[in-house]
Structure formats: structure tokens, C-alpha cells
A and B are shown apart, each in its own frame.
Chain A
Amino acid sequence: MISSQMLKGVLEGCILKFIAQKETYAYEISRRLEEFGFEAISEGTIYPIILRLQKNNLIEAVFQKSKSGPKRKYYYLTEDGAQALEQFEENWRELELAVNHILNNGAENE
């Protein structure tokens, strides 16, 4: 089980990535996270992260018509958001490399 603090940080980056790919909304984000292997992330978990991204001007919201009825809030990336995503990708690769290095070689040195 990933700790909630770590999960939130990772989710922020993943949500930015989804939004960068196309304008999207909370439920679609939660579905896509599930498709990519995150265990049942509800919209309730995603929503505060979206608010934080909005507060930091990384994404903005726009109301658009939905097929299901009333207008729905779609989110799109801002310029700051694009930079933050780039930074996240860079940080994640460094972290992934370092952790993999420890996990793969650390055991051999013991």
C-alpha cells in the first residue's frame, strides 16, 4: 500500500499529465487512473488535488456541455501547469532511477 502523502504527490503529476493530453473532468480522470492500475481512486480523492492545482494556477476550469445533461467542469493545463508537468516528469525519472538502483543493486551488496 502506497502511503497517502506519497500517493497525493504522484497523483498530482498523473492528473497534470491526463489534463495535458486533453481537456478532461473528474470522473474521467478517476477512470483513467483505474485503467492505468491505480486502485479505485474516487472523485472525492481527486477533487481536493484538482482544487490545489487550480489554486496554484497549474490548471483552469471551463464549463462545457456534457452528454449526460447539465454542464460539466472540464480542466485544461495552463503554461505554469505545463512547466510543472515537465518538472514532475524530470523528478520522477530521477527518483525512479535512484530507487531502482537501490532496489536492484542494494540487495546484491548486502
Chain B
Amino acid sequence: MNRVKELIKKNNEREKVMLNENVQIYTNMIVYLRGSELSDYNQEVVREDIIALILEGQDRGDSIQKVMGENYKEICDEIIDAMPKKTKKEKILEFCQIAFNALAVLGLIRLGGVLIDFFTGNKSLIFTLTVGQILQGVLILSMANIMVNHITKNSFDLKGSRLYILVVAIFFTLILLMGYYLKMVVIRLAIWIAVILIFSLFIIAKLIDQKLSNAN
């Protein structure tokens, strides 16, 4: 197990004894830090320290407000400011890792669709992708990115703004419409080639993940 995963496991274990009244603010702080430019390892180092401060406070009978002060966002900004940031190379690798992983998952879902069609006797065992399905994939990934970004940046004041709800609604409508109307097939592969490609995407994503973990 690499040291990031080890630390994640340790932190997950330690946070279990946190009192309910402390969990909400602690979670908001961690979610906010997740959206920062800190590396995964540094995020976990900070998380480890924050858990230790809160649990020690708990043992003394101090609330999270007393331990952390009341300006949680300001404290998180100062923490982020004080820690080393991801390099450009790390950012690119991280983007590729997420993108490859997401493409592999979407590919796997599509593969499931092809297999279901085959076993219900409707179609042949050919992996096809239509314009609509490709655009759906791009939109799903973009929407996931926008949602994560919105949640992490606004973790201390997460109210569904009208504009945000409207953007999500438009995305969903577009995703549905594209799948329905844009049915021109642009990719047609033998099923075994599709399986190899999807598997390769998973492997590449995993290798990048390992490289990122070793770099931290």
C-alpha cells in the first residue's frame, strides 16, 4: 500500500470517534481542502493534523469552535496558502488519471449495454458509439467536474443557487436529447478490441495514480 492510501486508511479510522456535533464543520473543512491545489498526500497530512486537533479538543471537552476558532474558511485558506502546491506536471497527470478512469467507466457502461443488446437478441456483438453517446460522455464528465468544483468551493455555504440548478437542468436535458437524436455511429469496434481498450484505460489510470502517489 502506498503512503497516501495508508494515511487515508489511518485518517478514516481515527475520524470515526469524532463527536457528531464536530463532524459537520470538520467535513466542510475537508471538502473545501479537497478542492484546493494541495497534493493528495498533503491533503491527508493536513487532515491527520486537523483530526488530531479536534480529537484532543474533544478529550478536553472543547468544541470544534473553540479549537478551530470560528473563521473556518479563512483558516482553510491560510492552510492552503502555507502548504506546497501541486506542480504543473502533477496537475496534468491528475487530469489524465481522472479522465482515463472516467472514460474507462463510461466505456464499461457502454460495453454492458452492448452485451445486454446481444443477449436479448437485438444486435450483434459489435461495440458502437454514436455522436450522441460521445457527446453525452463529454457532458457527463464536464457536469461532474462543475458539480465537484461547486461543492468544494462552497462547502461552508452550500445553498443551491438558482443559476447552478439551471445549469444542471440544462446539462441533463442536453444529455437526454443527445442520446435520443444524435444516432450517427462514428466508432465501430469488435467487442474484444473494445475490451482491450477499456482495460488499457484502467491500467494507464492506475499507473498514473501510482506515479502520483510515489511523487508525493
Contact = CB atoms under 8 A, between A and B. Distances in A.
A45 B66 CA distance: 11
Contacts of B148: none
A45 B76 CA distance: 10
Nearest to A41: B69
Interface of A: 26-27, 42-45, 47-49, 51-52, 55, 66, 68-70, 72-73
B75 A52 contact: no
Contacts of B68: 42-44
B78 interface: yes
Contact of B66 (A42, A49, A66): A42
Contacts of A49: 82
Contacts, number: 51
A68 B56 contact: yes
Contacts of A68: 56, 59
Contacts of B50: 47
A45 B59 CA distance: 20
A67 to B, nearest CB: 10
Interface of B: 14, 46, 49-50, 52-53, 55-57, 59-60, 66-69, 72, 75, 78-79, 81-84
A51 B69 contact: no
A44 B63 CA distance: 12
Contact of B75 (A26, A48, A72): A48
Contacts of A43: 53, 57, 67-68
A72 B56 contact: yes
24 contacts: A26-B53, A27-B53, A27-B60, A42-B66, A43-B57, A43-B67, A43-B68, A44-B53, A44-B67, A47-B53, A47-B79, A48-B75, A48-B78, A48-B82, A51-B46, A51-B83, A52-B82, A66-B56, A68-B56, A68-B59, A69-B59, A70-B52, A72-B52, A72-B56
A69 B83 CA distance: 28
B44 to A, nearest CB: 14
A51 B82 CA distance: 6
